[in-house]
Amino acid sequence: MSDIMAFIPARAGSKSVVHKNIKLLKNHPLIAYSIRAALLTSGIDRVIVSTDSEEYAEIARNYGAETPFIRPQKLSNDNSTDYDWIYHALTWFRKEEGKVPRLIAHLRPTTPLRDPKVVEMGIRYLGSEPQATALRSVHEMSSTAYKCFQTDSKYLTCAFTSSYNLDEGNAPRQNYPATYEANGYVDVLRSNFILNNPEKIHGNKVLAYIIKHTFDVDSKEDFKYLENEVVSYPELFNRLFQPEKSCK
């Protein structure tokens, strides 16, 4: 049994962009980018795609991933959580193969431009911190969340303090702590933690893996942007899909 696996979710029911996970980005389906990055990441032994679609499963296998099961429909709707499908995958391995991986690299297809070396460093980071329950990639927000507002349905209030005095938020950005946004580049999870803590995958000691700002896909306009990124910066694309570039 493999020590480290990549888990890639790819349900078929996207509403923002129909069949988003297999929509072509420079002649390759979106999911292929995550599969190829995982295959090229040192330390990852197996690449598993969790999908509710036989069509998606075949595409995933064509790019080198394994699809040992089809995810149940009840775990593939809009209300399903990451815990649902990850727990399903872990219990499948425990039942069918008798063991689960020590670590999981959770790679979301909606963050396709992913450098295998960055994924590898994230895995190594969690491995070096035994007290951490998980690792999550984040990037610094362009404007600190401390300068954001809420509303009481009519009037604005300052986020965090709920104060109606908005002048409190007019101080220079540098006066506030930096805040970070999860970006889907890579989460590294501990299987044993998930199996022993219902409804949790990250826990309360999550390492901050701070990387540069990255872009994810949520709309047709996002695809257009990514197409330009792939054309403008072909190095990563070539590393992922260069024919002579063999995977593990």
Same-domain status, 104 and 56: yes
Partners of residue 138 on adjacent β-strands = 182, 210
Same-domain status, 61 and 170: no
Contact present, 7 and 204 (Cβ < 8 Å): no
Same-domain status, 47 and 168: no
Taking CA atoms, 213 is separated from 21, 74, 96, 180, 182, in Å, by 21, 34, 39, 10, 10
Q: Where are the beta strands (DSSP E) in 54-178?
A: 103-106, 134-140, 149-151, 156-158
Contact present, 182 and 148 (Cβ < 8 Å): no
Is 54 among the domain residues? yes
Partners of residue 48 on adjacent β-strands = 7, 66
Looking at 128, 155, 178, which one is the last position of a domain?
Answer: 178
Same-domain status, 164 and 229: no
Is 128 among the domain residues? yes
Is 33 among the domain residues? yes
The pLDDT, as a whole number, for residue 1 is 45
Looking at 131, 159, 178, which one is the last position of a domain?
Answer: 178
pTM of the model: 0.93
Q: Give the up-direction half-sphere exposure of residue 188: CA atoms within 13 A in the CB hemisphere.
A: 27
The pLDDT, as a whole number, for residue 2 is 67
The number of folded domains in the chain is 2
The pLDDT, as a whole number, for residue 45 is 97
Is 247 among the domain residues? no
Same-domain status, 165 and 214: no
Same-domain status, 94 and 51: yes
Contact present, 12 and 50 (Cβ < 8 Å): no
Sites in the chain below the pLDDT cut of 50: 1, 244
Number of H helices and E strands in the chain, helices first, is: 7, 10
The pLDDT, as a whole number, for residue 244 is 46
Please give the backbone phi and psi of residue 50, each rounded to the nearest 5 degrees, phi first: -100, 110
Same-domain status, 35 and 60: yes
Same-domain status, 132 and 9: yes
Is 67 among the domain residues? yes
Distance CA 63, CA 51 (A): 15
Same-domain status, 105 and 194: yes
Taking CA atoms, 45 is separated from 4, 116, 194, in Å, by 6, 13, 20
Is 57 among the domain residues? yes
**DSSP characters for 206-217?**
EEEEE-------
Non-local (6+) Cβ contacts of 63 within 8 A are 29, 31, 32, 35, 36
Is 210 among the domain residues? yes
Which residue range(s) make up the domain with 27?
4-139+182-241
Distance CA 52, CA 12 (A): 7
Same-domain status, 26 and 121: yes
Task: Report the candidate in 2, 3, 20, 24 with the shortest Cα–Cα distance to residue 11.
Answer: 20
Tell me the chain's radius of gyration from C-alpha atoms: 20
Same-domain status, 198 and 168: no
Q: What's the CATH code of the domain at 51?
A: 3.90.550.10
Same-domain status, 36 and 107: yes
